Structure 1
Amino acid sequence: MTDGREMTKMVRLTPRCRPLNAAVLALGLAAGLGWTPGNGPAAPALAQGGGLFAPVITVNGLGISRYEIEQRMRFLQLLRQSGDLRKAAEDALIEDRLRTWRAKLDGMTASPELVDEGMTEFAGRANLTKEQFIAELTRAGVSEQTFRDFVSAGVVWRDVVRARYAGRVQITEADIDRAMLVEADRGAGTRVLLSEIIIPAPPEYAAEARELAGQVSAIRGEAEFANAAQQVSASATRDQGGRLQWMPLQNLPPALRPTIMALKPGEASAPIELNGAIAVFMLRGMDEGGPASTGAQTLGYALLTLGVPGSPEAAELAGRVARSAKGCDDLYTVAKSLPPSWLTRVEPAAQGAIPQDVGLALAHLDIGETTRLQRGGNEVLVMLCSREKVRPEGEAAPSRDAVRTQLLNQRMNSYADSLLADLVANAVIVRP
């Protein structure tokens, strides 16, 4: 929601206002929870150079005064928010009006007691009493009523969203299981978009494979690299020009991460020796949505020998896996008529302990997904069984109840954002 986003854009305050820093942060966090903290009457004439408290904007018949806009601007200015402060203040106040307007239509109001509780809670998050918090705001030129109105809009909005959507949100045990896996962090940090070429390098052809890999490494540009992948790559991605989907940098084997981070878009890596193959990667894009994670992972996986690369038998076995195996346990059923040595289930191991060719294959897989690679003259199917974070010593994993609450808040906030967007799109907003 707009208010929460505005208020969490914290920057250094002047020494005189520094005590407000933590308080404002608490206020911003609380505003962001949205649900966790017929047309109206004919619009009055807008003030044209009128008094400070005359309406200058109406929203479904509800006025916003010049004073309120200046108060919100002052608050944003305290946060050193850049950009058009007046527009930001107006947009935030328009959304607050729509929250209270919708609540009134739904027969809801924020009682003074609940608003006081909300104000006390916000102040407490900054380790201040409500009175201390208000005193800091007052010294900064923001009135108590501005704070009260802001909290009131958040409190009543929470009730509106709860009444409409609480019955729709069901958090299952499977939802919690998925959220507690490392896949839940996808997109939270640095992600990379790669293309790959995997060149088989059996001992008798190792020299030729290295020479070919050197030529591939000199390629510049995605189109030429994709063409080369279709011609020489043994990877399952060859038909897509070697293109992989976005993946978190931390999914790559630790030894490979610096190599990828050093590339520029459209640049290929030096050849990388694997188990019986040589790999070359091209960086197509990088999304620095957060700091590059160095967090360790443990990976559990399964290897199923398919047979001679390109043979009908290998294709038939791969097809059976695709049809029948949704997870690693299902592979035992698929492989029951095969030699026992053809299926290997590997218990979770540190990324650095996993053979690099397998580690690269696992990097772009979600749990239950598969890919294929060539090892020892055979085509081998790789399935990811588990991917888990290695937490620093002393760091406890979040409880299931905490994860359930987080998921509930995320889904309710999504509903709240959608409802607010609809209200804004359909509102009658009159400006001077």
Structure 2
Amino acid sequence: MQLNVTLFTRTLAAAALTVGLTATAFAQGMFSPAIKVNDDVITHYELEQRIQFLTLLRAPGDPVELARKALIDERLRMQAVRETDIEVTDEQIKAGIEEFAQRTQLSADDFIRALGQGGVQLETLRDFVRTGLAWREFSGRTFLEQARPSRMDIDRAMAKDTESNGVSVLLSEVIIPITPETLEDAEALAQEIASIRTYEGFAAAARQYSASDTRDVGGRLNWLPLNNLPPPLRPVILALKPGEVSAPIPLPNAIAVFQMRGIQEIVGPAPRYASIDYAMYYIAGGRSPEALAAAQALKARVDRCDDLYGIAKGQSHEVLERVTQAPGAIPRDVALELAHLDDGEVSTSLTRNNGQTLVFLMMCGRTALPNEGVSRDDIANRLTQERVAQFAEAFIEKKRNEARIVDQ
């Protein structure tokens, strides 16, 4: 339910953009060329569809520029693929769509339906997946052998993994809840907060606008290991200098803005986790005073996640979720809250069901990923994947520099 609502929110946010783009596409000839990449054409319709697709997914950045670059790169990739015997079957595309949908925690059918409601056609998704699968096969065939690490490479990587220090960051946060009705105002507010340049100003904004449990202390978080944060956010946070504020970061049902207050190296190996165990108990009423009061009363009654089973007894099984996931698989908003929770601690910052349900989020425990448990094969596979991706990106960059790319 959570991500259906999120996609619906995104759909509403993109509606005005869709109308304008669609009118432009028809005025210019919907299937007329927008960009030529060597002998291949990208039509206005394809460009519009990709913009809408990225808008619905709330990809960070300008969706117009992102769509243009993505479609150009995909044309270059498929030009390389056409020189091989690589073919992608309908069965592979179907499996690829299911894999992509899983990242949004929707079934393939629900994901396709949500995209359709936002104006994105099924064939657009199929083309996107087809290109990705073909390029994955091409990259493996072309770069795999040269990407394989040597014994010395693996030795160095294992030593680095074992001995490397990590980074700890001191952040302040503002978490702005959103609903379809408040999305536009929330985005404008987030942009305004992102322009703040003082610690005092950011703390005041957190006290006034944040839905996080940290709002009463000006949004200030304690020191936390960078590895606790969701992987996609780590480079965003590391790029900040003390006093700087991040651009707004989209989350399910919320927008986050962070201010860097400090950064330091962790003495000893950086903590890494194989999985995180957490529980979510759902309270009707969203962020109403009654729901928040119920959450505070519940907080006083439970000391560990197992206590929630007694609370949920006799209620619908949907009222309580106990989840164990790898860090990279946890929804971003949940992962951000878990990042600063210790075992048995609770957050009541999140909502679901279009803001109508309050999430009582409890950290149950983290399972460490000790360095001695990482095999040489694990290290070799990781290095190989990283190098294949690097070789593939360098290949496309060269093709892009050599290509004839003309805006029509």
Rg larger for: 1
TM-score by length of 1: 0.45
Q: Which has the higher contact order (CA 8 A, sep 6+)?
A: 2
TM-score by length of 2: 0.48
